[in-house]
Structure 1
Amino acid sequence: MTHHPEASASTDDLDGALDARFTFDYQQIGDLEPGQRWSTWGSCQPLSRGPEPWPDWIITDDAAVDTELGVLKTGKEADVFLLERSAPLDDRSVVLAAKRYRDNTHRTFHRNTAYTEGRKLPKKGGREARALAKSTSFGKTVAAGMWAWAEWEALVRFHRAGLPVPYPAQVDGTEILMELITDSDGAPAPRLAATRPDRNLLESLWVQLCDTITGLAGLGCVHGDLSAYNLLVAGERLVLIDLPQTVDLFGNPHGMDMLQRDCMNVAKWFVARGLDVDGEDLFGEVVARSV
């Protein structure tokens, strides 16, 4: 039997010869605390993640932890929470806005029919369609998920078009995680209704708003529930939020009426602050540019 000296090499010698590609380090992560969960990023399908290229602040680590920080605001169909997503292996973290839709039992926004005309609905005769028709517990969850998905699609589409909306990070069932819009001090940006802008900023915000409404119409869309309460002021920048009821300007028979109402609603707020603008004029200009 032939003796091979290398076969009797010590374990230490073998360890020193291992290729670095076949070694790894690991770090133990502690148990989750109350109000925490593992990141849901990894469980989301590709179409449920934000448009690429992803911003630098997006955390995709499987070991990331989501921590509840409290309620940011309540709304007619959903509540928005602050959620910190952190990567414990490299100390990165980001605070996101987590919008969670309620089922129909707990919603105060019930004008569904006018907003859903022209939208795709679950296949007739299918389980989801039957549950919706009977308003079962499952049906209510389906309805909430449909509103969440409608807002998700609007956010993705408008972000890609360059319109001023929060970056949509991911959607998972009835929860949308999106960019937290902040003011110049890093605090959550206030709604337009809560601000008292000076004359110069007021004029700038109006111009931005007109451009945004025109941009939506150029995509064939109407916000449908636009007011000073679903516009954020991030420093000197206006940001559009609350988009589940966005309608097709031409496919929905109420589209033009909703556009006119949006224009009148927001113009009224600016007029009350001393700006000489007219909602009917804005409506006419937007229609002229979109047809």
Structure 2
Amino acid sequence: MKTPNGLQALIDDGVIDRVLRPLKSGKEASVYVVHGGGEVRCAKVYKDMAQRSFQQRTLYQEGRKVRGSREARAIGKATRYGRKQQEVAWKNAEVDALYQLRDAGVRVPEPFGYFHGVLVMELVTDAAGHSAPRLGEVELSAQQARDFHRFLVREVVKMLCAGLIHGDLSEYNVLVADEGPVIIDFPQVVSAAGNNASRRLLLRDVNALTARLGRFAPELLDTWYGEEMWALYEAGALQPDTVLTGKFVPDTSRVDVESVRHAIEDARQEAIIRQQGREAAQEE
């Protein structure tokens, strides 16, 4: 196939040998199957800010560290240089998160490096060696759904113990590989301790997974793993090997109107973003 502009520099530098085919195109980036390092990998080419439809970046960027004081001031003032640095920080967030989560034992694609604004990483495959399907594309038995849910909740716990929350975890961001689920797509990853929306985003992540897997194992819909792990995290008692029960007694003494409002708005915005992503993919 014709080499996309974003990948030509990697070929020139010998990072990859050739581009084999496009894999997927989303609201944040286009992913290609490439050959490099003697094996088949994938390359994620991030779209320019003007081409993207993701509308809630401010929510996710709160609490992120910026590499220098000059950059931090520029971002705060929203200067042209600041917007450029904000874009760089947005792309770097996924790269940094992948390395950090791999070290923490979370099952994510293995990163091979970040070159000219392109992330080269492991191509996740199924048992036949084909590109792994998304969680939302497979039918599961009740027992498979329970096993996947147990595993993914454990991965979310590991992430939280590493100080990170995915922020957009759903059936679209989990691949079903030969060895089991693999979590992908981290540009919106948030700092658990530094973002005021951390609890809300964590609960949304866990509830999205539970809603999908609960279609095959309905008893999962009666669990409260997100609330349980957040309460333990706030108390400083959450460890990667903490045994969770899925049980949690919420405080019903008052209605948290603000949380309800946020949940409704999150659902509305997510529907808009998904639709825009589908429209953008159709146009391409």
TM-score (norm 2): 0.73
Q: Is the 8 A contact 1:203 1:275 kept in 2?
A: no
Cα gap change, 1:127/1:64 in structure 2, threshold over 3 Å: closer, same or farther? closer
Q: Is the 8 A contact 1:38 1:65 kept in 2?
A: no
| Match status 1:195 vs 2:138 | yes
| Match status 1:160 vs 2:103 | yes
| Match status 1:98 vs 2:43 | yes
Q: 2:192 corresponds to which letter in structure 1?
A: L
| Match status 1:258 vs 2:201 | yes
Q: 1:165 corresponds to which letter in structure 2?
A: V
**Structure 2 partner of 1:247:** 190
Residue 132 (structure 1) shift: 8.4
**Structure 2 partner of 1:19:** none
Residue 129 (structure 1) shift: 2.8
**Structure 2 partner of 1:82:** 33
**Structure 2 partner of 1:4:** none
Q: 1:120 corresponds to which letter in structure 2?
A: K
Give the Cα–Cα distance (whole angstroms) in 1 for the partners of residues 30 and 134 of structure 2. 15
Q: Is the 8 A contact 1:102 1:144 kept in 2?
A: no
Give the Cα–Cα distance (whole angstroms) in 2 for the partners of residues 279 and 156 of structure 1. 34
Give the Cα–Cα distance (whole angstroms) in 2 for the partners of residues 233 and 217 of structure 1. 22
Q: CA RMSD in A?
A: 2.8
Cα gap change, 1:34/1:287 in structure 2, threshold over 3 Å: closer, same or farther? closer
Unmatched runs of 5 consecutive residues or more in structure 1:
1-32, 44-62, 87-92
| Match status 1:230 vs 2:137 | no
Give the Cα–Cα distance (whole angstroms) in 2 for the partners of residues 149 and 79 of structure 1. 16
Give the Cα–Cα distance (whole angstroms) in 2 for the partners of residues 65 and 218 of structure 1. 35
Residue 186 (structure 1) shift: 0.3
**Structure ID, larger Rg:** 1
Residue 121 (structure 1) shift: 3.1
Q: Deviations over 1:18-72 (max 9, x none)?
A: xxxxxxxxxxxxxxx963857579x7xxxxxxxxxxxxxxxxxxx6652111211
Give the Cα–Cα distance (whole angstroms) in 2 for the partners of residues 85 and 213 of structure 1. 31
Alignment of 1:26-175 (within 5 A): 35=3, 37=8, 65-85=16-36, 93-121=38-66, 123=68, 125=70, 129=74, 133-135=78-80, 142-175=85-118
Mean Cα deviation higher: 95-104 or 267-276: 267-276
**Structure 2 partner of 1:59:** none
Residue 288 (structure 1) shift: 3.7
SS of residue in 2 equivalent to 1:177: strand
Q: Count residues in correspondence.
A: 231
Q: Is the 8 A contact 1:68 1:81 kept in 2?
A: yes
Q: 2:181 corresponds to which letter in structure 1?
A: L
Q: Is the 8 A contact 2:75 2:83 kept in 1?
A: no
Give the Cα–Cα distance (whole angstroms) in 1 for the partners of residues 182 and 24 of structure 2. 16
Q: Is the 8 A contact 1:132 1:142 kept in 2?
A: no
Identity of aligned residues (%): 31
Give the Cα–Cα distance (whole angstroms) in 2 for the partners of residues 224 and 192 of structure 1. 17
Q: 2:89 corresponds to which letter in structure 1?
A: M
TM-score (norm 1): 0.71
Cα gap change, 1:287/1:125 in structure 2, threshold over 3 Å: closer, same or farther? closer
Residue 282 (structure 1) shift: 1.0
Q: 1:253 corresponds to which letter in structure 2?
A: N
Residue 196 (structure 1) shift: 0.6
Cα gap change, 1:107/1:127 in structure 2, threshold over 3 Å: closer, same or farther? same
